[in-house]
Amino acid sequence: MRAVGARVEKVDGIGHVTGQTTFVDDWRIPGMLWAKVLRSPHDHAAITKLDVAPALAVPGVRAVITHEDVPKNVLGHLEGLGVPADEPLLAESDVRWKGQPIAVVAADSEEAALAGVAAIGVSFEERPALLDVRLAFEADAPKAHHWGNWFPHFGGPDTPPDHRKIRKGDIDAAFEQADAIVQGVYRPNAIEQMPVEPQVCACVPESNGRLTIHSCTQGVYFTMGIVAGHLGVPLNRLKFIAGTVGGGFGGKVESWTEPVVALLALKTGKPVKLRFTREEEFLCTSTRAPWHIEIADAVTSDGWILGRKMLTLHDAGAYARFSPYGVTKHSFHIAGSYAIPNIHFDGYVVFTNRTPTSAMRGFGVTSVSWTIETQMSRIASVLGLDPYEVRLRNASRIGDTTPNWVTLHDPSSVPVIQAAAEAAGVELTADYRTMTRDPRSGDLLPEWLEGQLGDLDAKES
Amino acid sequence: MKLNVNGVEHALESGALTPLLHVLREELGVTSPKAGCQSGGCGACTVLVDGEPRRSCLTPLGAVDGAEVTTIEGIGDAHDLHPVQEAFHTLHAAQCGFCTPGMIVATVALLKRLPQPGRREIERALSGHICRCTGYVKIVEAVEAAAGGSR
Amino acid sequence: MAKQRGRGMAAIEYPTGMNQGGDPSQCWVKLKPDGRVDVLSGTVDLGQGAKTIQTQIVAEVLGVPTDWVTFDNSNTDTSPLCTGSFASRATFMGGNAARIAAERARERVLDIASRLLEVDAADLDIDEGEVFVKGATEKRVGVPDVAAAATWQFGELITGTGAYLKPYANVDPETGRTDRNPHAGISYGACVADVEVDDETGAVAVTKLIQVYDVGRAINPMFVEGQLQGGGIMGLSFGLLESSYPYYPSVEHRGSEFGSYLSASIEGLPEVETVLLENPDVDGPFGAKGVGEMASNGIGPAIVAAIHDAIGIWVTESPITPERVLRALDEKAGGGGEPRRDGKRYVFDESLSVNALATGISFEVNV
């Protein structure tokens, strides 16, 4: 092999180091209008008045759109995965987070667009806001979402249950059998994806009726489908110019600018560009979720994990977006790199009045790693065991199963932990240094792990 | 007002408070300085004004009347890469490439001032430049390689 | 009062592709009349290097130099679908689509070459842009000549399409059991963090990171290192500095610009050691796995453990700010910070629990 495995330089790298790579903001489009967004100043409020006429009187303003201009305003981005539509492209009767978009103005310049936004007549009646997931379940908690304060569709659009569950083995028996139970609370906070290129989109209406959309999306056909859905047009009306993006980290899965500029381009008949300010990036776009996780591990005095009970509250913010997907992904990985025979997990997607959260690098699993690896360190500390060895003892081996009963054919937790110890100059005892990931037998197959073994010969359909 | 950009003289009509970034991108079509934050925080719009690195987003046109502005286009092109560009390319110091023009412009100014910077000087010179892709590891390596190559 | 050193580690795993599968990628490879290769793909390059990775894969499969291959993901009139560059799927799914498309184009190259050389296609191989007879390497024809013959002599377009799709897995709502393997591949990693904690100011400095990852197969080792280094520093930044809503230290503090939203900078960068293990994935293109996302997951908990090693406190909320470190030190000095013992239970962090703060939900451990 020559190409694969080689330290080939980027095929587009010369463009990067000479400043000639064309990002969305770099397309020169004659006659282009700029768009700016009217956003909610409140965490939670009813919209009692929305009058765009004054904006249209501002010099340079060409068009304003509100929810009334969107052919399909409430569109589910993950309906195919069982997440029903809940979020409007532009707010209708209420706003549920500070920064929620209400109207968008297109004008000859950014200044005129901002003046147009400022001229829109809008008033609100504030409502109590829910801002702590732990308080969402109280009887008198503010109501953050029309479905209630947590996502109710985990069996599908119309079916219970209202949270994601893992039930594997018998957690009560594990607690009973354990020599020790180690319990903790973990709260990895939200962070912003923070690519240096902000969200930016430009749309050019073509003479043949098509729309050319310059997009920084991370998933071109995904976003094209969303534009087609909001506008009610077939895919061949749209041409996306995309694929070269100034960093994403999950934030540019959000597909909001594209349908908005497309609607404004249709309404004005002119090219329109919308580029988020850094403040909008930080305050108004999806972030990673903050998570609240409680965990109790049943362990033996020599460090075997017999069982794990876990409660996860995922802060979805004001709308579902990808959060149900994230919690399901989270649930599959709550055992991490280890074989845990008894698991009891309840994971709630909790609605609050914060900015909706969504995809970010490590989606659903960053929170697991933070939680369960600190648990592993605590277990080692409480029991007086070596942190490498307690991990190697429990590490997944060929033939083990995950919390969702996937049989592992190729786990490499044992070799990576051994390699980390070596790189760190940590001397493992002989048993752990020579350990392999081979299927369990002997001392590595205690009775409590027998029931979790998978069938390595089963052919997947 | 007058501006010399990469060796070419321009006469400009814009107001004195117009940000240099806007003049470069929207009026002169020089798009290598990026509008990463437009508030001086990310460094992606960095250009050289009379040889000194400046945030073009915070630099009003009136403050640079008659100055020489160098963007990365004035430092090297695909046919004649500057050693700093070469090092960033071959050592994979540019991932998405959005912060890269600003990083390279600042590095060129650093090496001109201090041909063999220590780690601390490199960190100081680039500390106002945000890169979310690389973790800065390969950027430091590239700057050190470019400095080594210029010895 | 002094700077205390500590070390901690974490071991992690992460899947490739969307969580329940069902996320296709497609690719189209075609040859120009002179044997140069067009790759039409919908995979987005966010900086991770997808354009280059798929170029390398196609060049490898077709046995041509990488600079014969032109990758184009620029527009949807020519690019087929790729679900997206997320879920660590671009190299694995997009790369597999490119591999399959190139394999089909390769079959066409060999078929045309077999007619030119009058040798069975099964006896042919391609290397450095030339088709040759295995075992009789003097008998050969260049890929440019094959492409020319296809175009001008046989009236054909040498092309291949490829698609990769892991079928969608359903989840049982009562048990979480999936009806098929939803993961395209799982990668594993282990991280070690060395810290220096100032027990007077509470400041935590990370001095060294060791990151060991099973990457399956490094299609481009330089790019994998780039992902792991960038992810590692993002993980450090997540653990120690960054805070979006509900913000730190309070809801009122909305970091709305660089500077008020704190994140890692080039200053004070730790030494970063990256170790790649290659344990090829059975389904990955040339054995590759997807490690782009997981690179930021292991560092945070390794830092938590390192801080405990240094000064004996556990901070389980991120970001681990100096204030949180000092508060934990104060608690420890006052005799707190240890888990409450209740029979065989060791109960940490009780003040953060829903049991202490809320009604309507609780976390019960029945012993």
**pLDDT tens-digit series, residues A188-224:** 999 999 999 999 999 999 999 999 999 999 999 999 9
Q: Are A193 and A287 in contact (CB under 8 A)?
A: yes
Which residue has 């939900």 as its token pair? C361
**Cα-only R_g, chain A:** 26
Phi, psi of C149 (to 5 degrees): -65, -40
Question: Has residue B107 got a pLDDT over 90?
Answer: yes
Looking at the fold, whether A97 and A198 belong to one and the same domain comes out as yes
Find the closest chain C residue to B96 by CA distance: C47
Write the burial class of residue A232 (CB in 10 Å: 0-12 exposed, 13-18 middle, 19+ buried): exposed
Find out if CATH 1.10.150.120 is the number for domain B83-150: yes
Task: Please report which helix (H) or strand (E) contains residue A392, including its range.
Answer: helix A387-394
Asked whether residue C302 carries a pLDDT value surpassing 50, the answer given is yes
Q: How far is C270 from chain B (nearest CA, A)?
A: 9
Residues contacting residue C311 through CB under 8 Å, at least 6 positions apart:
C4, C6, C197, C199, C325, C329
DSSP state of B56: G
Looking at chain C, list the stretches that DSSP marks H as alpha helix, in order from N- to C-terminal side.
50-62, 95-117, 143-148, 221-240, 299-311, 322-333, 354-357
- Closest to C344 in 3D by CA, of A317, A113, A174: A174
* CATH 3.30.1490.20 assigned to C3-15+185-351: no
**Fold category of C25-164 in CATH:** Aldehyde Oxidoreductase; domain 4 (3.30.365)
Q: For residue range A400-452, what is the model confidence (pLDDT) as tens digits?
A: 999 999 999 999 999 999 999 999 999 999 999 999 999 999 999 999 999 99
Q: Do A418 and A275 have their domain in common?
A: no
Cβ B30 vs Cβ B73: under 8 Å: yes
**Chain segment C191-226, per-residue pLDDT in tens:** 999 999 999 999 999 999 999 999 999 999 999 999
Q: Which pLDDT score, from 0 to 100, does residue C250 have? A: 79
Question: Which of A245, A294, A348 lies nearest to residue C46, judging by beta carbons?
Answer: A245
Looking at residue C253, its pLDDT comes to 82
Tally: H helices and E strands in chain B: 5, 5
How many residues make up chain B in this entry? 151
Instruction: Give the minimum alpha-carbon distance from A376 to chain B in angstroms, rounded to a whole number.
Output: 27
**Chain C residues near residue A403 by CB distance under 8 angstroms:** 176
d(CA A105, CA A280): 16
What pLDDT is stored for residue A1 in this prediction? 55
Same domain, A308 and A360: yes
DSSP-derived letter for residue C266 is S
Domain layout of chain B by residue ranges: 2-74, 83-150
The predicted structure's pLDDT at residue A195: 98
Please give the Cα distance from A336 to A365 (Å, whole number): 9
ipTM of the complex, rounded to two decimals: 0.98
Residues A371 and A274 in one domain: no
- Tens of pLDDT, residue by residue over C246-293, are 777 777 788 899 989 999 999 999 999 999 999 999 999 999 999 999
Residue C262 dihedral angles phi and psi, to the nearest 5°: -85, 140
Q: Which of C68, C316, C355 to mutate to test the interface with A (most CBs of A within 10 A)?
A: C316
pLDDT for B92 beyond 90: yes
The chain-wide mean pLDDT, for chain C, equals 96
A340 with A423, same domain?
Answer: yes
Chain A hits for B100, Cβ within 8 Å: 16-17, 19
Domain check: are A174 and A211 in the same one?
Answer: no
Q: Is residue A461 domain-resident?
A: no
Q: Domain ends where: A284, A304, A334?
A: A284
> CB B37 to CB C232 under 8 A?
no
**pLDDT at res. C337:** 84
Instruction: For residues A218 and A267, state if they share a domain.
Output: yes
- Best of B132, B133, B139, B141 to mutate (most A CBs within 10 Å, chain A): B132
If DSSP codes are grouped into helix, strand and coil, which group holds residue C186? strand
Report whether B118 contacts A36 (CB < 8 A): no
Q: How many domains does chain A have?
A: 2
Range of the domain at A398: 164-191+287-450
Cα A156 from Cα C170, distance rounded (Å)? 10
Residues A87-139 have pLDDT tens digits of 999 999 999 999 999 999 999 999 999 999 999 999 999 999 999 999 999 99
Quick check: A101 contacting C, CB < 8 Å?
no
The neighbour count for residue A27, using CB atoms within 10 Å, is: 17
Query: Is there a single domain that holds both residue A120 and residue A26?
Result: yes
> Nearest to residue A226, comparing CAs of A35, A70, A65, A76?
A76
Q: Using the 3D structure, point to which of A284, A306, A321 is the last residue of a domain.
A: A284
To the nearest whole angstrom, how far is the Cα of C105 from the nearest Cα of chain A? 17
By the CB < 8 Å criterion, does A454 face chain C? Answer: no
Looking at the fold, whether A243 and A375 belong to one and the same domain comes out as: no
Evaluate the CA torsion angle C236, A345, A358, C288 in order and state its sign.
Answer: positive
B90 has pLDDT over 70:
yes
Domain B2-74 has CATH 3.40.50.300: no
Query: Is residue B151 predicted with pLDDT exceeding 60?
Result: no
- Examine the pLDDT at B150 and tell me if it is beyond 70: no
Confidence of residue C304 (pLDDT cuts 50, 70, 90): very high
Q: List the one residue out of A119, A52, A137 whose CA is nearest residue A90.
A: A52
Mean pLDDT of chain A: 96
**Is A279 in contact with C79 (Cβ distance < 8 A)?**
no
pLDDT confidence of residue B149:
72
Q: A360 with A219, same domain?
A: no
In a domain, A120, yes or no: yes
> Are both A210 and A300 inside the same structural domain?
no
Given a cut of 70, whether residue A56 has pLDDT beyond it is yes
Nearest CA in chain C to A238: C76
Cβ–Cβ < 8 Å for A246, A276? no
Name the residue ranges covered by the structural domains of chain C: 3-15+185-351, 25-164
Output b/e per residue, C132-153; b: 16+ Cβ within 10 A.
bbeeeeeebbbbbbbbbbbbee
What are residue C162's phi and psi, to 5 degrees?
-140, 145
Q: pTM (2 decimals)? A: 0.97
Q: Which of A134, A403, A416 sits opposite C214 (nearest CB)?
A: A416
Selection from C5, C27, C1, C16 nearest residue C214 by Cα: C16
Closest CA to C265 of B97, A246, B136, A278: B136
In a domain, A382, yes or no: yes
Backbone angles phi, psi at A429, to 5 degrees: -70, 160
Question: pLDDT for B15-43, tens place per residue?
Answer: 999 999 999 999 999 999 999 999 999 99
Interface of B with A in 104-143 (CB under 8 A): 104, 130-133
pLDDT band at C137 (very low <50, low <70, confident <90, very high): confident
Please give the pLDDT value at position A460: 65
Question: Is A224 part of a structural domain of the chain?
Answer: yes
Listed residues A284, A317, A346: the one ending a domain: A284
Cβ contact, residue pair A222, C83, below 8 Å: yes
- Amino acid letter, B128: G
Nearest alpha-carbon partner for C251 in B39, A38, A353: A353
- A331 in the same domain as A262: no
Chain B residues whose beta carbon lies within 8 Å of the beta carbon of residue C259: 41
Query: A390 CB near a chain C CB, below 8 Å?
Result: no
Contact present, A310 and A345 (Cβ < 8 Å): yes
Q: How far apart are CA C259 and CA C255, in angstroms?
A: 8
Nearest-CB residue to C234 (from B122, B123, B135): B135
Neighbours of chain C (3+ CB pairs under 8 A): A, B
Interacting residues of A339 by C-beta distance below 8 A, sequence separation 6+: A394, A395, A396, A397, A400, A401, A449, A452
Share of chain A above pLDDT 90, in %: 96
Chain A: partners with 3+ C-beta pairs within 8 Å: B, C
Whether B83-150 and B2-74 are alike in CATH topology: the answer is no
